[in-house]
Amino acid sequence: MEEAFVISGHHKPAFKWRARARAMAIHLAISAAVAALAAMFVFGLWYPYPYREISGGRELFLLLVTVDVILGPLITFAIFNQAKPRAELRRDLTVVGLLQLAALAYGLWIVAIARPVHLVFEIDRYRVVHAIDVPAELLPSSPDKVVSFSWTGPKLMAVRPFASEEEKMEATMAALQGVDLGARPDLWEPYEQAQPRVLAASKPVTDLLGRFPAHAAEIDKVLGRMNRPAAGVSYLPMVGRKSFWTVLVDARTAEVLAYLPIDSF
């Protein structure tokens, strides 16, 4: 109910700005808590390090969630009015909450279809493959026991050798049209089967130190954290959605050990 008070014989409305601000603050706190839980889910499962950097997941998520978190409380501030009947006020706030949850769900869906699903060894490099990159019509041709779309972070995969020159030519033409080799389920094979090819294509990390002396301290720090000598580590370049990184692998087993934000092509 709108209140009025008298000053110098004139009636002036008291609009209860504090009540509106309090309602907005409560809504903002709830929205921030929900967004924090969503962030833990997204970055803990879908975009673990370093993919939140390589695949742009952090920027996309923050853009969508920030708009959602800010817009909902602002609408609450605009519509909150204690003069309304309690049932009407509850209805209005419920509608705002449901619209906000729908917007959050849509944002999470966008983030989900853009999530990285595989890290694929592709001839002489690694490629980060995202769910949206994989042609749906090729999914039935995925090898047995290969998960096409991981929901718990990218899985290691490899591109198998071409079965014929015709297949190689067809795959090359498709790549020129935007369908990368690593995004083709019909060419996938388990990473373990590609171990000899990974080791043959990789280069000693000592070469990386020689090529990028400005990053020597960073590389040495990573090697020290892994407690591995440089002689036992090799590297390969990695292609991401928006940048090029470097993958460090065990020089004997081809196990992926670490990632560096260095373009080693």
Q: Cβ(121)–Cβ(157) under 8 Å?
A: yes
pLDDT by residue for the chain (265 residues), tens digit each?
444 444 444 444 445 788 888 888 999 999 899 988 988 888 888 999 899 888 877 787 888 788 788 888 888 888 888 778 888 888 988 999 898 889 888 888 988 988 999 999 999 999 999 999 998 888 888 877 676 788 888 999 999 999 999 999 998 898 888 889 999 999 999 999 999 999 999 999 999 999 999 999 999 999 999 988 889 999 999 999 878 999 999 999 999 999 999 999 9
Q: Cβ(234)–Cβ(251) under 8 Å?
A: yes
Q: What is the pTM of this model?
A: 0.82
Interstrand relation of 155-159 and 116-121 (parallel, antiparallel or unpaired): parallel
